Structure 1
Amino acid sequence: MAAFTVDARGRRCPLPIIELARRIGELDLAATLVLWADDPAADLDVPAWCRMRAQELVATRALPTGGTAYLVRRLT
């Protein structure tokens, strides 16, 4: 289970990534958060941000109400 759920649906780039970056720093190492986003740019932005910031994108899944859930684990 994720420590946080960040609902960024309805927000456009770069706001979902800004929220992800802000909240992941609040997590203990190895903890996870879920980012909900419906901005099409998030499909590219979230994996790229995880690579650049040395965090782990664990999984993605489509949300039944639209958008995508991104499960991210804090590694550093």
Structure 2
Amino acid sequence: MSELFVRFHPDVVLDACGLPCPMPLLKTKQALAGLAAGQLLEVRATDAGSWRDIASFTDQGNHEMEAREQHEGTCFFWIRKAGDAH
């Protein structure tokens, strides 16, 4: 098990494995919309474009990509919902 898996304790896990582009990104946006500010979303996706698409989404927006990594064809993302958590 990777150090990242041990370090992160997501509030919600989104399994987008097997979904074709652009569904992993769309499901990520939907999941983030349902979270409170400061909560952590873990996304799992097997679509190769997700690596680029989800990173671009967080780079261009307010949500923070805490980390991302790939294991055996699956991309894992840990995204912190934007906003004041207080």
Fold similarity call, TM over 0.5? yes
* Alignment-mate amino acid for residue 69 of structure 1: F
Any gaps of 5 or more consecutive residues in structure 2? 1-8
Q: How many residues align?
A: 75
Q: Does 2:78 align with 1:71?
A: yes
SS in 1 for 2:68: strand
Q: Does 2:86 align with 1:62?
A: no
SS in 2 for 1:35: strand
Distance 1:33 1:74 in 2: 7
Offset of 1:62 from its aligned partner?
Answer: 2.5
Distance 2:80 2:29 in 1: 12
Question: What TM-score, normalized by structure 2, do the two folds share?
Answer: 0.80
SS in 1 for 2:67: strand
Q: Which runs of 4+ in 1 moved over 3 A?
A: none
The residue that corresponds to 1:18 in the other structure is 26
Offset of 1:63 from its aligned partner?
Answer: 3.5
Distance 2:60 2:27 in 1: 16
The residue that corresponds to 1:42 in the other structure is 50
Any gaps of 5 or more consecutive residues in structure 1? none
Larger Rg: 2
Distance 2:36 2:47 in 1: 27
Question: What TM-score, normalized by structure 1, do the two folds share?
Answer: 0.89
Q: Does 2:36 align with 1:28?
A: yes
Offset of 1:61 from its aligned partner?
Answer: 2.2
Distance 2:21 2:60 in 1: 17
